[in-house]
Amino acid sequence: MDQTNLNHLTIQIKHWATELGFQKTGVADIDLSEAEIHLKQWLDHNYHGDMHFMEKHGRKRSHPEELVDKTFRVISCRMDYLPEESNDPTQLLKNPSQAFISRYALGRDYHKLIRKRLQKLALRIQKHLNETNNNHDFNYRVFTDSAPVLEKPLAQKAGLGWIGKHSNLLDKDAGSWFFLGEIYTNLPLPIDKPVDSHCGNCTSCIDLCPTKAIVAPYQVDARRCISYLTIELKTAIPIELRSLMGNRIYGCDDCQQVCPWNRFAESTSEQDFQPRDGLDTATLLELFEWDEQTFLRKTEGSAIRRIGHQSWLRNIAVALGNSTDDNRVITALKNKRALSLSDLVDEHIDWALENLTKASQ
């Protein structure tokens, strides 16, 4: 394809992406040398904790052409997810009886939804190439947080935003409440201009982090991050961090909620990202009563399901231990403890009961 046709195709791709529900689309080259250095330093500090998959694939994460043969460009797409809610998230955090769940997990699991949209976009590109009698051998593969892909550095190179000090991607017009997805392709599309950082001297995200997981600008120690502790960690939550978790039972949005750029964020128009089963209003006691069958039924099609029932109860036990010394809380903890569901759950229930006792003295 000549340059004129490639330019036209890129414009068309962005238009088709918008029609499919993406709010912004860009194209990046595959030079991730700077991101590779940052990743290596992060891994060398063991900031990835038990997320061994971050080091498992060697060069494939920072060399797209080694993950998907012949990759020359990456089409990066953004889809907003901020839901409309019954409760103000900041008020939820102030009410120890309420359960706080990261906003991205209140609705349907984004993986399948975005992957299907990206596949539709890729097929539309293929159709266009066929209709224009272009003999380019179009190779591609779609991703969304589902493979060793450095999605944020790629999105930054594609002009979708800049990586903030909390390590999330930021857009001046939309903040950070969005998902990312990619199409790896061999098409020699024209690339977009990267976005400069606009964090300035602001350190709000660093200052507010409950567990001080943002150890330096652009450096997050996952081992202290509440999102890691409640989602990725499969063993006991470190005792010294439990009281800092408050009522956060799945993820943590503090660094995003405090970011000044998120005042420009708008609620998503995707119905699948709206809260399900009252998760934006549920109390800790309500969710603690879910047995495994209820948990599986209520979290069907949700990202929450992947942590499993045991981690779910572990997280809620910690949150209950950080709540008030209420007879209902004590009774619920003791009733669940009597079931001896697992050593993991029992240990956190014991901690919760002890913590409540200390708080009441």
pLDDT at 154: 98
Cα 322 to chain centroid distance, Å, stands at: 25
Answer yes or no: is pLDDT of 74 > 90.
yes
Tokens of 48: 């990835």
Residues 166/213, Cβ–Cβ less than 8 Å: no
pLDDT at position 214 over 80: yes
The confidence band for 89, taking pLDDT boundaries of 50, 70 and 90, is: confident
Percent of the chain with pLDDT over 70: 99
Distance (Å, whole) CA 193 – CA 316? 44
pLDDT tens across 29-54, in order?
999 999 999 999 999 999 999 999 99
| Residue 102 DSSP class | -
Active-site residues: which are they? 145
58 has pLDDT over 70: yes
Rounded distance, CA 80 to CA 58, Å?
31
C-alpha–C-alpha distance, residues 322 and 96, integer Å: 7
State residue 17 phi and psi, 5-degree precision.
-65, -40
Quick one: average pLDDT of 304-330? 96
What are the strands, taking DSSP E only, across 174-286? 178-185, 214-216, 219-220, 248-250
User: In this predicted structure, what is the pLDDT of residue 136?
Assistant: 74
- 2 pLDDT higher than 90: no
Confidence band of 3 (pLDDT split at 50, 70, 90): confident
pLDDT of residue 35: 97
Backbone torsions φ then ψ of 278, nearest 5 degrees: 65, 25
Which tokens belong to 140?
């591609």
Residue pLDDT, tens place only, 317-326: 999 999 987 8
Whole-number pLDDT of residue 77: 98
User: Could you give the CA distance from residue 269 to residue 273 in angstroms, rounded to a whole number?
Assistant: 8
Average pLDDT over residues 347-351: 98
Tell me, what's the pLDDT at 287?
98
What are the angstrom distances between the C-alpha of 64 and each of 87, 126, 186, 305? 41, 21, 11, 30
Q: Torsions phi, psi of 110, nearest 5?
A: -75, -20
Which 8-state DSSP code applies to residue 228? I
* Amino acid letter, residue 303: A
* Predicted local distance difference test score (pLDDT) of residue 360: 79
State residue 86's pLDDT score: 61
The strand ranges marked E within the chain are 24-28, 73-80, 100-101, 140-143, 162-163, 169-170, 178-185, 214-216, 219-220, 248-250
pLDDT tens per residue across span 169-196: 999 999 999 999 999 999 999 999 999 9
Q: What's residue 327's pLDDT?
A: 93
Residue-wise pLDDT for 111-160, tens only, equals 999 999 999 999 999 999 999 877 678 999 999 998 999 999 999 999 99
Cα 73 to Cα 7, 58, 142, 187, 317, distances in angstroms:
14, 20, 12, 6, 46
How far is CA 222 from each of CA 36, 42, 48, 126, 310, rounded to the nearest angstrom? Answer: 18, 10, 6, 40, 21
Please compute the mean of the pLDDT values over residues 203-230 and round it to a whole number: 98
Mean pLDDT, the chain, rounded, equals 95
How far apart are the C-alpha atoms of 7 and 148, rounded to whole Å?
Answer: 29
| pTM for this prediction | 0.95
